[in-house]
């Protein structure tokens, strides 16, 4: 038996990966995966716009294996959100015998400097969380020691914000790579503006322009408050589609995989009269007796309104990141309308698995008060080890309910193995990408359920109703773009 490369993983991850390796299977690609592999091998820069569950990870590993064997690349850097770095890529490599020769190294946490120094030629694939970019780019010597010449950005919508430090660092990094690939199923969750950063990673501005300012001037016009927003000029969506389409492969899961349907259910709740009155007062005046300081912006007020709709509120001023406070903050419980409605749904399901999206830490407290203190949650407070244990227990069917924040688990995690057919949104996300990716954790290949129900808990007369309208609008826009990419793919390559 051929000796496998020694990976550079955290100790807690090594044993789990070794166990998966012992149960590895033979990888037999579907015809559409063969098409994806062919396109990656033939094009030094392209995007795989495949729905979750279609095997973007295994296609990429297969392409990396061929390119490395033929010495067309020396090493692959995979940039991804934290959960996929720990829970997807190592196990996808371990699950298939064909990829075992690809030694991996994970650069994360306090040991990433030592891991970088101990890289050997057999470590052909290096995994790095997006938050590790500042560390990597802080010293040119680190980039040189990495020695990667193929870049893969998993969930490329994470680099859509051109004002972020992440994109500015990516802009400096991409010239180091002769092959660059992006992977995502949701490239434009909000608008066509979201595409610039992702496409720039591929072609450094050849299609849409070298600077986002030029991109906006060419395809958009200023609008909104103080003309700080951008709306697409008439007909420019088709022009952008035609420029991007040759660089991407778009495949729709429903065309190739047997997936459950996704019927929607609305669970409308009413705020108690006194809370509804206080809600209306805050909405009208930006003032409330609930808080120790007045609202200083419309954004701060909206965050408080979202909290009030859910049932609890932070009573101190809004910090930089209201959803992930760095310290314990004073919380006032206002009502249990949503928590009670969720408890009714849990009782109705009689133990069937239910995945629940939450928005604030106090949402978890409210739900646990209604359903029990042992209800598990995957959010920013869960360590990597805790998250792995919860995920495995869920997939074994041992957990009737699992809470999670879309930002912590909306990308990469495979949660379909317990055949869950109910996903609930206790908090309605503003971000369509997070919304879409969250329920796709279970709505994917391998789920044997006939339907995956999406349950939306909406407080009447609140911002929840506006968010539902906004999600529908954003979803329609993304669907139109993806359909255009799919049409081009089928014209050029036929149907796989």
| Domains of the chain, residue spans | 11-257+483-493, 264-460
Reported as a pLDDT band with limits 50, 70 and 90, residue 411 is low
Q: Name every residue whose Cβ is closer than 8 Å to that of residue 26 and which is 6 or more positions away in sequence.
A: 96, 97, 98
Q: Tell me, yes or no, if the two domains 11-257+483-493 and 264-460 fold the same way.
A: yes
Q: Residues 109-122: pLDDT tens digits? A: 888 999 999 999 99
Q: What is the pLDDT of residue 459?
A: 93
> pTM, whole model, 2 decimals?
0.69
Q: What is the pLDDT of residue 258?
A: 65
Rounded Cα gap, residues 480 and 472, in angstroms = 12
* Residue 202 reports pLDDT greater than 80: yes
Q: What is the pLDDT of residue 431?
A: 84
Per the CB < 8 A criterion, the answer to whether 79 and 154 are in contact is yes
Range 189-213 average pLDDT:
91
Q: What is the pLDDT of residue 350?
A: 78
Place of tokens 């020769």: 101
Domain 264-460: give its CATH code.
Answer: 3.40.50.300
* Residue 108 reports pLDDT greater than 80: yes
Range 452-474 average pLDDT:
88
Average pLDDT of the chain, as a whole number? 87
Q: What is the pLDDT of residue 272?
A: 93
Q: What is the pLDDT of residue 420?
A: 82
Higher pLDDT, 261 or 241: 241
Answer whether CATH 3.40.50.10810 is correct for domain 11-257+483-493: yes
Rounded Cα gap, residues 324 and 360, in angstroms = 7
Q: Residues 353-403: pLDDT tens digits? A: 899 999 999 999 999 999 999 999 988 788 778 888 888 898 888 999 999
Q: Name every residue whose Cβ is closer than 8 Å to that of residue 144 and which is 6 or more positions away in sequence.
A: none
Q: Residues 282-329: pLDDT tens digits? A: 888 887 877 766 677 778 888 889 999 999 999 876 554 544 444 578
Strand order in the sheet with 401-404: 264-269, 453-459, 422-425, 354-357, 401-404, 377-378
The pairing of beta strand 229-232 with beta strand 248-251: unpaired
């Amino acid at each position: 038996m051929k000796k496998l490369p020694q990976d550079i993983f955290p100790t807690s991850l090594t044993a789990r990966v070794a166990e998966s390796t012992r149960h590895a299977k033979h990888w037999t690609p579907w015809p559409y995966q063969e098409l994806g592999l062919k396109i990656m091998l033939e094009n030094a820069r392209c995007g795989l716009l495949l729905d979750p569950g279609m095997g973007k990870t295994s296609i990429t590993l297969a392409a990396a294996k061929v390119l490395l064997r033929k010495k067309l690349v020396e090493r692959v850097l995979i940039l991804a959100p934290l959960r996929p770095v720990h829970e997807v890529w190592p196990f996808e490599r371990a699950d298939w015998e064909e990829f075992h020769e690809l030694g991996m190294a994970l650069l994360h946490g306090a040991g990433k400097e030592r891991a970088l120094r101990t890289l050997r030629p057999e470590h052909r694939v290096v995994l790095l969380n997006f938050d590790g970019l500042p560390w990597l780019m802080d010293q040119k010597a680190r980039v040189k020691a990495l020695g990667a010449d193929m870049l893969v950005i998993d969930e490329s919508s994470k680099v859509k914000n051109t004002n972020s430090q992440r994109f500015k660092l990516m802009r400096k990094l991409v010239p180091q790579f002769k092959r660059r690939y992006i992977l995502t199923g949701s490239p434009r969750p909000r608008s066509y503006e979201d595409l610039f950063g992702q496409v720039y990673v591929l072609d450094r501005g050849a299609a849409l322009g070298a600077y986002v300012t030029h991109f906006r001037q060419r395809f958009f016009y200023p609008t909104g408050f103080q003309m700080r927003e951008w709306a697409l000029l008439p007909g420019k969506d088709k022009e952008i589609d035609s420029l991007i389409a040759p660089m991407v492969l778009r495949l729709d899961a429903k065309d190739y995989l047997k997936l459950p349907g996704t019927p929607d259910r609305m669970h409308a709740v009413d705020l108690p009269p006194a809370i509804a009155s206080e809600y209306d007062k805050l909405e009208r005046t930006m003032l409330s007796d609930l808080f120790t300081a007045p609202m200083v912006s419309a954004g701060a007020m909206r965050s408080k309104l979202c909290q009030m709709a859910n049932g609890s509120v932070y009573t101190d001023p809004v910090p930089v990141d209201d959803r992930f406070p760095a310290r314990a903050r004073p919380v006032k419980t206002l009502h249990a309308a949503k928590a009670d409605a969720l408890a009714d749904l849990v009782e109705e399901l009689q133990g069937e698995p239910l995945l629940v999206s939450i928005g604030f830490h106090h949402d978890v407290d409210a739900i646990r008060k209604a359903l029990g203190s042992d209800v598990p949650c995957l959010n920013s407070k869960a360590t990597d080890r805790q998250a792995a244990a919860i995920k495995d227990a869920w997939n074994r069917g041992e957990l009737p309910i699992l809470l999670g924040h879309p930002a912590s688990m909306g990308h990469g995690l495979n949660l379909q193995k317990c055949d869950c057919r109910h996903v609930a949104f206790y908090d309605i996300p503003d971000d369509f990408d997070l919304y879409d990716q969250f329920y796709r954790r279970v709505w994917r290949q391998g789920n044997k359920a006939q339907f995956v129900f999406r349950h939306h808990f909406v407080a009447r007369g609140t911002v929840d109703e506006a968010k539902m309208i906004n999600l529908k609008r954003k979803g329609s826009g993304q669907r139109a773009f993806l359909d255009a990419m799919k049409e081009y793919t089928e014209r050029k390559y036929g149907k796989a």
